[in-house]
Structure 1
Amino acid sequence: MFELLYKNISRYIDLSEEEFRKFTVPFQLKSFGKKETVLKEGDYCLFEGFVLSGCFKVYYLNENGFEQTLYFAVEGWWITDIDSLINHVPSILNIEALYDSEVLMISKKDKENLYGTMPQIEKLFRIMNQQSSVALQRRVLSLTGKTADKRYLEFLQKYPGLEQKLTQQQVASYLGITHEFLSKIRKKMSLR
């Protein structure tokens, strides 16, 4: 159950078997069915989750009531609302399982306890937060500075094979366009 988590964190820090076992003690395995909500707008986020299997969409509703997908969390990704978790404010995000999924969850309190007993865990999450900041910056730059065609190609590279598992509406929401416009992009690209 913890092999994927070990592989993920080993990219950033080295832990002995005993240290890794100690690290995993507070994690709880949670299963979510298709369309099940992990976090709802207005609730407080009290966890970080590591996706073992399945896929989640992390989204918010814009002022017109339309979904805007920030990212899809697939196997090996983390899910949370970092603003709600860190600042203890109501979440503006929703996290929903797109199909049956499993997640290893850790509470903020348990994570902070690990910081006190295992300093390398604080380093791990610092590095992961830096990586998340880079990804967020790239996402914002893509949304504000690239054409929908280029964003679509980036989506295909970032999430290989995921397009076949998503609806056209979900892909369009991620790209910040209508599903009709996505159809035009796909048609144009198929003619090349």
Structure 2
Amino acid sequence: MFEFLHKKINETIDITDEQFEYAKTLFVPKQLGKKRLLLERGNTCIYTTFVGKGLLRSFTIDEKGNENILQFAMEGWWVGDLYSFLTDEASEYTIEALEDSQLLLITKPSWDLLLEKVPAFERYFRVLIQNNLIATQRRLMNTMTISAEERYIKLLQDFPDISQRVPQHMIASYIGVTRETLSRLRSQMASG
């Protein structure tokens, strides 16, 4: 799993083997079974997490009991509640494993130490946060400006195997439609 993390980091920045060996000492490996929680709403997010294998989702439940999925985190992605992680305040999100998952967790003190001792990681995490902000803004804009069908098509283009890994009701939640609306969209797309 550390080899995969090393590969993903090297896609963004160059670090030496010695720097990566040091970084490895700051991560905690964790196995998380399907349907198990990494973070529960109301708790503080004490880790930011790299997904080595598996699939997780970050979501909230509104006052009507509806799930609102913020993110799916697949292999090579990071997941956590950045606001809670950085401010030590309670999280608004729950993070759940949708598949048996292998994770690498890093605490805020270890993260700070990593950024201090290996400055290249400052750039790495800055790029990740920038990319996340851009993706979040685009997703928000798409929610306001394009049709549900277009959002569904975009999701399938961006994540071709998502419909095999995630139940349809969760896909509906992610694109902001009801389960019934997604079912109609899929039927219309299949017929023509």
TM-score, structure 2 normalization: 0.97
For 2:90 and 2:15, locate their aligned partners in 1 and report how far apart those are by CA, in whole Å: 34
Residue number in structure 2 paired with 1:127: 127
Instruction: In structure 1, give the amino acid aligned to 2:181.
Output: F
C-alpha separation in 2, matches of 1:173 and 1:103: 25
Counterpart Cα distance in 2 of 1:166 and 1:116: 38
State the Cα RMSD in Å: 0.9
TM-score (norm 1): 0.97
Aligned AA (2:182): L
Is the counterpart of residue 112 in structure 1 residue 112 in structure 2? yes
Identity of aligned residues (%): 37
CA distance in 2, matches of 1:166, 1:12: 28
Q: Residues 100-129 of structure 1, C-alpha deviation per residue, up to 9 Å, x if partnerless?
A: 111100001101011111111111111111
Q: Distance in 1 between matches of 2:88 and 2:149?
A: 38
Give distance in 2, aligned partners of 1:145 and 1:58.
23
Q: Which amino acid aligns with 2:18?
A: E
SS at structure 1 position matched to 2:11: coil
2:72 corresponds to = 72
Moved over 3 A (4+): none
The residue correspondences of 1:110-189 to structure 2 (distance < 5 A) are 110-189=110-189
Post-superposition offset of 1:63: 2.8
SS state of the match for residue 152, structure 1? helix
| 3-state SS, counterpart of residue 98 of structure 2 | strand
Q: Which runs of 5+ in 2 are unaligned?
A: none
Please tell me the residue identity of whatever aligns with 1:17.
D
Structure 1 unmatched runs, 5+: none
CA deviations on 1:132-175 (whole Å, 9 max, x unpaired) are 11111111111121110001001101211121122111111111
Q: Which deviates further from its counterpart, 7-16 or 35-44?
A: 7-16
